[in-house]
Structure 1
Amino acid sequence: MTEVPARSAGRRTWAHLRNLLPSVDDSRAVRRTWRRDLLAGVTVGIVALPLALGFGISSGAGAEAGLITAIVAGIVAAVFGGSNVQVSGPTGAMVVVLAPIVASHGVGAVALVSVMAGILVLVAGAARLGRAVSFIPWPVIEGFTLGIAVIIFLQQVPALASPELHGASHTNVAVLAWQSLLGADPAYLAWSLGAVAIVAACMLALPRLHPGVPGSLIGILVVTVLSLVLPSPLRVIGELPQTLPAPAVPEWDAATLGALALPAVTVAALAAIESLLSARVAASLADTGPYNPDRELVGQGLASVAAGLFGGMPATGAIARTAVNVRAGGRTRLAAVTHAAVLLAVVLLVARPVGAIPLAALSAVLMITAVRMVHTATVRSILRSTRADAAAFVITAIVTVSVDLIVAVVIGIAVAGVFAIRNLARATGVHREQIAGPPQPGDDRIAIVRLDGPLFFAAADRVADEVASLADVSVVILRMSQIELVDATGARILTEIVQRLERDGVTVLIKGVREGHEELFRTVGVLDALRHHRHLFATLPDAVAHARSHVARAAGREESNG
């Protein structure tokens, strides 16, 4: 008898694992869309180049780590991921997490953290945790995004203020940014701000002339040429590798794994959250086909492992680059692979000229990117929505900047949960009803109490207090058919209500227990607390008739005793 369920479970497991792997369906549309995919891939590659360099430098791992990650992780995630249009690589959110890891454990820890976090994300996908991101409320996501944008912007200030402060360790980016400005080199700051102004002007103005103009690359090119022609003090990227390094397992030992365990969990959680959000956003931008969240986690996990083996950094799905891909016409995985191939061509063919780019130009790209991450219309709509959503948004943003990204998400979810529970508790109602039909003698001794909404831990005490406040009654009819959900705490409080009323000489009748609640009421003791098993009724008229009989018998006893 157990063999059939076992075989069925085995088939389901195998079907799930098969859905996590690449299939022929991934490339069916390439014959129709390959031209648009190639063009979109080239476009995204051009956009991704300065971001890969900038994020690599800002993380402390170096520009080459950013490029390697964009190439290796970009290809692996495109092939194994769950989205047809997701573009993966280094992102600003990951930079925020990696910077303190580099400061505490050194650059060498980045590759090992990437492998460790990738394995965790891979396991999460295999364990079918891809749908977990749906539990994160929208205001928390937007607060998280706002906080990341602020951090990315502030991280660039030390690089602009003085070359000596670039890459300095810090515990709070706002404090370090302020300290950097106080100790800034005025001459260097003037050059840096000039570079920022040029790149910002190109990024903001040139796309208005034509949407296809790569404003960031043109701005970087202008600043680079000026820094070569003029006697500029601006620091540059420096020498880049002209080929990909050979893959190798990062050095590790038990002590190192223990020290990096918590950072790896943080990186894995961030990679999973950001990748799933990006894939979900991409699916809403155009008809790009469905995405598989579990497979997306598997693909992103493999991408981070591969990037770590090549000396890169953890990768995630990049919302901005994915959106560029979709809007440029990308519809299959060929576009993301092409984007990685463009970056590989940069490494193989023009690594030396790229090394001459001033860091201030890359900082400018990241600052404008950070500003564009914040949509004022979205912020206004959240702040004007409900008090609970506004609080979750603001608290998440503040904690993201001042404490930690994952802590911010946890606190944001907790705040949203507290407000949701409070609102749910307020939906629980306790109403006293009149007996329908012509009144009869003794009806004033009968109380019909209707319980509405959810009966759970947050509302249980209030329900108990309101029912207990009934006075001068002999029978209480509890109408239960309108209770939408009930938990163990609500059922236990209901048991205590029945027991208290019965001790006070009040007969309790229960009407309309839903089929799904009866087993819980029986297990917790609600039904056992009734004076008689016949005090459970399916219809209100039957309960009222029984209550009237109790009142009549009580009145008869009083007359005989009188």
Structure 2
Amino acid sequence: MIDRLRALRPRRHDYQGLRRGWPGELLAGVTVAVVALPLALAFGVASGLGAEAGLVTAVVAGVVAGVFGGSHVQVSGPTGAMTVVLVPVVASVGPGGVVVVALLAGAILVFAGVARLGRYASVLPWPVVEGFTVGIAVLIFLQQVPPALGVETPDGTNTAVIAARALADWAPAQWPALAIAALVAATMVVLPRVRRGLPAALIAVAAATVIAEVADLSVDRIGEIPSGLPLPELPTFVAGDLPRLLSAALAVAALGAIESLLSAKVADGMADAEPHDPDRELFGQGLANVSVAFFGGMPATGAIARTAVNVRAGARTRAAAVIHGVVLAGSMVALASLLARIPLAALAGVLMVTAVRMIEFGTVAHVVRSTRDDALLVVVTAFVTVAFDLVLAVGVGVALASLLALIAVADSTSFEREPIDSVDVDPALEHALLHEHIVAYRLDGALFFGAAERFLLELADVSDVEVVILRLGRLRVIDSTGAQALSDLIAQLERRGITVLLTSVQPQHRALIEHVGVIGRLAHENHLLPTLADALVHARRHVRGPGSLKLAGNG
């Protein structure tokens, strides 16, 4: 355990090259902070906790995960996917429940990192990840419909239903909010095409705020924001809420692991830096969430968009992520009064554009066009994400992917009749074998529960033969169900007077078929032979001569 913890601790190597490259790290950190500021405000408001929670999370998680995480260039903070999980928690338990969820989820992630589960958490089928991302993007977009329209969020638990009710409640008099959301969205889309590298979201929100102030538009604002980080305090909760909070914490931990490891993997491909350590990444994200809980923030994870900006801005060490957090903390002190006047509709516009950009339409199109199974996985995972919840969507997606993979493996299993006239045998027997009722089958692939029934149906109908030889040398996988099917087949054939011989059994399969009773079903222990040639020689002893009984022989 001590060795594992030592492997997860920060080290001097994390900041290699910082002495000479600090100007680039400083520029990258400031650039990411400029991009992260409107997103942190928007995600805090969208979660139901308020803008302060988003800023606090960006500061604390950005610094802690930056120091302890497994990627040199990862930037962590609040994300849209987390808001999807947190909105129901706030509605049912209240803001205090989110703090407990962050603490529990952080503890789970710390344990996962120490237990070295990082490599497993990052293995998800590509179509499931894409469907999951599409579903989250749709949910984020729909969640912003009420603030973008300037209407009170209707009651309900289903995001799509709430968005539809908000549309029905909208009145023409509420046009200012819709106009601000549209202005922000248009600015974020057009500005990068005019000049790349500009912080489009920040410029759009600033412009919308100025217009709302000058024109004295009647729109809802963020409201008061504290000018600095709150003092840390112990989270409190009601014991009766613990089961519900634990369920949400498991969802947050799973989502945090998936999103952080995917973001770190993307960063590896973009940055000329050392590949990320998945176990340390989980450990760092866990510590970040535990720390956030003591400051009243919301759960955090690695953010792909902010990480990409960090890499493009020239970051090569963790210093940039730390600087990003420090700059955001400074903005709380210096800009608190200005941030309080930002219209909620402006943040809704930011999140709507962010949601659309989350979907890589070209990638989704490639997945959908690849195979029917992949298209089904994308559609089902996205649908379950929108209609139910994120954790169920991942579970359903992985289960469906596993089922489709098993079906594919089962379909690849073959039971082919093998010609025996080309096998080298004793010349004295060669002529006789061509006229005797001996048949050999070669089993290829995997004999498991998915293929066992087909195996029984195909081989149980063998007729007009006296000896069946089953070659198992090319059988790569066999489970207990497949072994039981093999045992049942032998019993059926033996009851019909057909002798069964097994040949070429691989050593790794021998113990299983013995335990299941396959060898015990054979008429004699000598009916387990090493090669097909040996089996053909032995089979001759069990074939009736013309008008006579079976020839004599042992077994």
Query: For the superposition of Structure 1 and Structure 2, which TM-score range results when normalised by the shorter chain?
Result: over 0.9
Greater alpha carbon shift after TM alignment, 279-288 vs 428-437: 279-288
Say if 2:506 is the partner of 1:530: no
Give the distance between the partners of 2:108 and 2:138, measured in 1 at CA. 28
Equivalent residue for 2:27, pick from 32, 39, 42: 39
Equivalent residue for 1:480, pick from 468, 472, 482: 472
Say if 2:194 is the partner of 1:209: yes
Alignment of 1:506-521 (within 5 A): 506-521=498-513
Alignment of 1:388-467 (within 5 A): 388-437=373-422, 439-441=431-433, 443-467=435-459
Number of the residue aligned with 2:492: 500
CA contact (8 A) 2:70 2:279 kept: yes
Number of the residue aligned with 2:292: 307
Number of the residue aligned with 1:129: 117
Number of the residue aligned with 1:14: 2
Sort the Cα spacing of 1:443 and 1:327 in 2 relative to 1 into closer, same or farther, 3 A: farther
Greater alpha carbon shift after TM alignment, 210-219 vs 280-289: 280-289
Say if 2:90 is the partner of 1:105: no
Alignment of 1:37-186 (within 5 A): 37-163=25-151, 165-166=152-153, 168-186=154-172
**TM-score, length-normalised on structure 2?**
0.95
Greater alpha carbon shift after TM alignment, 60-69 vs 176-185: 176-185
Deviation at 1:169, TM superposition (A): 4.7
Number of the residue aligned with 1:239: 224
Give the distance between the partners of 2:516 and 2:399, measured in 1 at CA. 29
- Unmatched segments (≥5 aa) in structure 2: 423-429
CA contact (8 A) 1:442 1:552 kept: no
Give the distance between the partners of 2:248 and 2:272, measured in 1 at CA. 37
Give the distance between the partners of 1:38 and 1:449, measured in 2 at CA. 70
Deviation at 1:210, TM superposition (A): 2.7
Sort the Cα spacing of 1:394 and 1:559 in 2 relative to 1 into closer, same or farther, 3 A: closer
Sort the Cα spacing of 1:134 and 1:270 in 2 relative to 1 into closer, same or farther, 3 A: closer
Deviation at 1:19, TM superposition (A): 1.2
Task: Give the secondary structure class of the aligned counterpart of 2:470.
Answer: strand
Equivalent residue for 1:260, pick from 229, 245, 262: 245
Sort the Cα spacing of 1:441 and 1:57 in 2 relative to 1 into closer, same or farther, 3 A: closer
Sort the Cα spacing of 1:113 and 1:533 in 2 relative to 1 into closer, same or farther, 3 A: same
Say if 2:370 is the partner of 1:378: no
Give the distance between the partners of 1:243 and 1:231, measured in 2 at CA. 28
Greater alpha carbon shift after TM alignment, 278-287 vs 440-449: 440-449
Task: Give the secondary structure class of the aligned counterpart of 1:484.
Answer: strand
Deviation at 1:201, TM superposition (A): 2.5
Task: Give the secondary structure class of the aligned counterpart of 2:549.
Answer: helix
Give the distance between the partners of 2:360 and 2:244, measured in 1 at CA. 38
User: Amino acid of the residue matched to residue 502 of structure 2?
Assistant: I
Task: Give the secondary structure class of the aligned counterpart of 1:313.
Answer: coil
Greater alpha carbon shift after TM alignment, 64-73 vs 34-43: 34-43
Give the distance between the partners of 1:349 and 1:555, measured in 2 at CA. 106
Greater alpha carbon shift after TM alignment, 225-234 vs 209-218: 209-218
Sort the Cα spacing of 1:330 and 1:486 in 2 relative to 1 into closer, same or farther, 3 A: same
Number of the residue aligned with 1:284: 269
CA contact (8 A) 1:442 1:551 kept: no
Sort the Cα spacing of 1:33 and 1:545 in 2 relative to 1 into closer, same or farther, 3 A: farther
Give the distance between the partners of 1:466 and 1:172, measured in 2 at CA. 49
Give the distance between the partners of 2:363 and 2:287, measured in 1 at CA. 34
Give the distance between the partners of 1:485 and 1:554, measured in 2 at CA. 41
Deviation at 1:34, TM superposition (A): 2.4
Give the aligned length: 545
Give the distance between the partners of 1:559 and 1:343, measured in 2 at CA. 92
Give the distance between the partners of 1:207 and 1:83, measured in 2 at CA. 28
Equivalent residue for 2:209, pick from 182, 200, 224: 224
Give the distance between the partners of 2:433 and 2:250, measured in 1 at CA. 70
Task: Give the secondary structure class of the aligned counterpart of 1:432.
Answer: strand
CA contact (8 A) 2:150 2:219 kept: no
CA contact (8 A) 1:445 1:473 kept: yes
CA contact (8 A) 2:93 2:241 kept: no
Number of the residue aligned with 1:387: 372
Give the distance between the partners of 1:358 and 1:274, measured in 2 at CA. 29
Sort the Cα spacing of 1:539 and 1:559 in 2 relative to 1 into closer, same or farther, 3 A: closer
**TM-score, length-normalised on structure 1?**
0.94
Alignment of 1:284-363 (within 5 A): 284-363=269-348
Deviation by residue 1:395-449 (Cα, 9 ceiling, x = unmatched): 1001111100110111111111111111110011011122133653564411101
CA contact (8 A) 1:27 1:333 kept: yes
Number of the residue aligned with 1:8: none
CA contact (8 A) 2:227 2:332 kept: yes
Sort the Cα spacing of 1:334 and 1:89 in 2 relative to 1 into closer, same or farther, 3 A: same
Give the distance between the partners of 2:208 and 2:274, measured in 1 at CA. 41
Deviation at 1:227, TM superposition (A): 0.8
Task: Let me know the Cα RMSD of the aligned residues.
Answer: 1.7
Greater alpha carbon shift after TM alignment, 207-216 vs 307-316: 207-216
Number of the residue aligned with 1:199: 184
Give the distance between the partners of 1:370 and 1:93, measured in 2 at CA. 10
Give the distance between the partners of 1:444 and 1:377, measured in 2 at CA. 61
Number of the residue aligned with 2:460: 468
Give the distance between the partners of 2:270 and 2:522, measured in 1 at CA. 58
Task: Give the secondary structure class of the aligned counterpart of 1:528.
Answer: helix
Deviation at 1:483, TM superposition (A): 0.7
Deviation by residue 1:310-347 (Cα, 9 ceiling, x = unmatched): 00011111111111111222111111111111111101
- Unmatched segments (≥5 aa) in structure 1: 1-12
User: Amino acid of the residue matched to residue 260 of structure 1?
Assistant: L
